Structure 1
Amino acid sequence: MDRLANTVRPYAWGSTTAIPELLGTEPTGEPQAELWMGAHPGAPSLADRGDGPVPLSELIAADPAGELGEAAAGRFGPRLPFLLKLLAAASPLSLQVHPDLAQAESGFADEERRGVPADAPHRNYKDANHKPELICALTPFDGLCGFRPAAESAELLSGLGVDSLKPYADILHAEPEEAALREVLTAVLTADRAEMAETVRLAAEAAERLGGTPGPHRDSYAAYASIARHYPGDPGVIAAMLLNFVTLQPGEALFLGAGVPHAYLDGLGVELMANSDNVLRCGLTPKHVDVPELLRVTRFEATAPAVLRPEAVDGEETYETPVDEFRLSRYALAAGAAPRQLPAGTPQILLCTAGTAVLTGADGAELPLSRGESAYVPAAEQVRIGGTGTVFRATVRA
């Protein structure tokens, strides 16, 4: 088992205080948006096995079967198939969707064939993998997830009293749901930018007013007004109004599958995802928005946010998801309780988010983890966990 040294990513939307507070470090004054734990080539964690710090990606590449287990190496290749993060949002992330595996493979192959540079700002597919993800709240956590029912979106838009939104509300009332959602999102993203900026301004003013008074959709209006303050004039503000607003309480989670539009708005959480960079953006960003490709990937169906709560079996609380690349669970460690044997046979990353945990290897060696610290456990290693606090366990589905 290896203690990990991890990289903080300073994206502009990040909180300046949430991750430093968890890690027990002084804030730098700069945004600290994500702490990455894993073997992603963009910022692999470092482990020291006696010869100095080495990227986890190199350790795995040198012995995939030994590090990952033969089953995981055979299914996913010689790389860790998941990436674990602490995510701290102080302002909205981009509104986005992720492709399914077939779409990612075909999109990546097409851009490779056309010679689109890997670092080109208009490149959509950085790899040939899909990117399902799971976010588990450590604090109250706001987000947008999935399309609202078309009739509900029409009611919400109509309630703003903005004349230029009336055609969208009429479409949402009159047409079949899938066609209506597709037509309205397309119209919003392809509208004249100056005209749309004025629509966003008027809608934001109305949302600000409605979000501060009792009435239907009050919380949603307040969220959209906040988004508009961060992204004035952005068409993504109107696109966001087609989506469900949800607040997770600590311990609750959301799974985000392929084609589901979403955005994280505010809060601190543990995020676990397949090891991919593939993102199609809808708005709330200065980055490239490829509307045709976005429309090809998006699933235009209304879905209520499926808030996950952990299912406890033998002391391990698991967040069930329909993917093989990752599995997230947590342990609530109680003082005086006997250490628990962790399942072996798959690669694991353990993250302590409260209190102190102690990992004990088969040889009796101990590795303490304080709040914010993490460790990597190779597939073949037998480890027990004890202490007092909360530990998240990221691994693959066995």
Structure 2
Amino acid sequence: MDRLDNTVRPYAWGSATALPELLGTEPTGEPQAEMWMGAHPGAPSRIDRGAGPVSLADVIAAAPEAELGDAAVRAFGPRLPFLLKLLAAGSPLSLQVHPDRAQAEAGYADEERRGVPHDAPHRNYKDPHHKPELLCALTPFEGLCGFRHPAEAADLLAGLDVDALKPYVDILRAEPEADALREVLTALLGTDRAALADSVDRAAAAAAQRGAEGGPHAPAYAAYAALAHHYPGDPGVLAAMLLHHVTLQPGEALFLGAGIPHAYLSGLGVELMANSDNVLRCGLTRKHIDVPELLRIVRFTPGDPGILRPEETDGEEVYDTPADEFRLSRYVLAPGAAPRALDARTPQVLLCTAGTVVARPATAEGAELPAVDGELRLAPGGSVFVPAGEHVTVSGEGTLFRATVVA
């Protein structure tokens, strides 16, 4: 069991205060967007086993079976297949989708064959892996997730009473659902940005007014107006109006599978994802947008965004998803309660988000060892890596998130 020393990424959309408040540190005045926990090559966590800090990625690469277990290596290769994050959104992230496994493998192989540099701004596929992800709110958390039914999107756009949007309203009401969503998104992303800027501004002004007036769509209208404030004239503001606006309460989560357009808007959460960098952007960004490839990846299927709530079994609250590369669960620990023994079959990253959690080495039967030399006390933001086969118990008074793979 190793305490993790983690990197905080200062992306421009990050909150300047949310992570410092959780970690109990002084704000720097700069955005602090994500704290990464894992072995991603872009910012691997560091551990110290007595010879000084070393990259967790290097430790795993040197002995993958010992660190990850034979089963995980057979299933996912000699790499930690997930990345755990604390994510603090102070302003909206880009509107984006992720490919499925087959699309990622094919896209990566094609760009490798064509010699597209890995750091090229127009490269779509950084690796051959898919990137399902799960976001669990620690504070009220706003996001956009998945397509609305076209009739609902049409009513939302019509409510703005902007003449330039009426052709999109007509398409959404007249065409079959998938065709309507594809046609409108293609039109929005394929039109010159400057030509749409006035329509975006008019729609944003109307959305701000509707949001202030109240009503069932007021929170969504207010969110779209806020997007336009951050990204004036961006066609992605209109594309976002095709998506569900969601507000998660603490403990609620969203699972984002392949091809599902989404964007995080504001709030602090725990994010767990497959260990990949593959992102295709739809808008709300100055970065490269490959419209033909994006339209090939997006799944034009409307439906409920599917807010997840954990299911509790023996004190472990599990967020059930179809992903194999990761499994997220939560323990809410009470003082005086018996220590919880964690399943040792798989590699784990443990993260404390509230209170104080004590992690101790244990026997295979789940009994704590008498020596406390290996005991680790975790304050909010503290995290540890537990190799496969290492038995650990957790206790204390606080909240602990456990990231691992599906056994």
| TM-score, reference length from structure 1 | 0.99
Q: Does 1:389 align with 2:398?
A: yes
Instruction: Identify the residue that residue 284 of structure 1 maps to in structure 2.
Output: 284
The 3-state SS of whatever aligns with 1:318 is strand
Q: CA deviation at 1:345?
A: 1.1
Partner residue of 2:387 out of 342, 363, 378: 378
Residue type of the partner of 2:313? V
Equivalent-residue separation in structure 2 for 1:130 and 1:223 (angstroms): 29
Equivalent-residue separation in structure 1 for 2:226 and 2:133 (angstroms): 25
Q: CA deviation at 1:301?
A: 0.8
Instruction: Identify the residue that residue 78 of structure 2 maps to in structure 1.
Output: 78
Equivalent-residue separation in structure 1 for 2:338 and 2:142 (angstroms): 36
Structure 1, gaps ≥5 residues long:
none
Instruction: Identify the residue that residue 344 of structure 2 maps to in structure 1.
Output: 344
Instruction: Identify the residue that residue 32 of structure 2 maps to in structure 1.
Output: 32
Residue type of the partner of 1:285? T
Instruction: Identify the residue that residue 53 of structure 1 maps to in structure 2.
Output: 53
Structure 2, gaps ≥5 residues long:
363-368
The 3-state SS of whatever aligns with 2:213 is coil
Q: CA deviation at 1:371?
A: 1.1
Deviations 1:227-257 (A, max 9, x none): 1100000000000000000000000000000
Equivalent-residue separation in structure 2 for 1:13 and 1:376 (angstroms): 28
Q: Does 1:121 align with 2:121?
A: yes
Alignment of 1:1-398 (within 5 A): 1-362=1-362, 363=369, 364=371, 365-398=374-407
Q: CA deviation at 1:152?
A: 0.5
Deviations 1:285-318 (A, max 9, x none): 0100000000000000102110100000000000
Equivalent-residue separation in structure 2 for 1:55 and 1:277 (angstroms): 19
The 3-state SS of whatever aligns with 1:35 is strand
Q: CA deviation at 1:192?
A: 2.4
Equivalent-residue separation in structure 1 for 2:40 and 2:239 (angstroms): 31
Residue type of the partner of 1:166? K
Q: CA deviation at 1:201?
A: 0.4
Deviations 1:159-213 (A, max 9, x none): 1111110000000000000000000000001112222011100000000100000
Equivalent-residue separation in structure 1 for 2:186 and 2:201 (angstroms): 20
Deviations 1:345-394 (A, max 9, x none): 10000000000111111353311111110000000101011111000000
Equivalent-residue separation in structure 1 for 2:216 and 2:161 (angstroms): 14
| TM-score, reference length from structure 2 | 0.97
Equivalent-residue separation in structure 2 for 1:127 and 1:319 (angstroms): 27
Equivalent-residue separation in structure 2 for 1:190 and 1:297 (angstroms): 16
Deviations 1:78-137 (A, max 9, x none): 100000000000110000000000000000000000000000000000000000000000
Q: CA deviation at 1:217?
A: 1.1
The 3-state SS of whatever aligns with 1:295 is helix
Equivalent-residue separation in structure 2 for 1:161 and 1:24 (angstroms): 47
- Paired residues, what number? 398
Residue type of the partner of 1:369? L
> Identity over aligned residues, as a percent?
73
The 3-state SS of whatever aligns with 2:25 is coil
Equivalent-residue separation in structure 1 for 2:55 and 2:78 (angstroms): 14
Equivalent-residue separation in structure 1 for 2:209 and 2:376 (angstroms): 53
Equivalent-residue separation in structure 1 for 2:381 and 2:193 (angstroms): 43
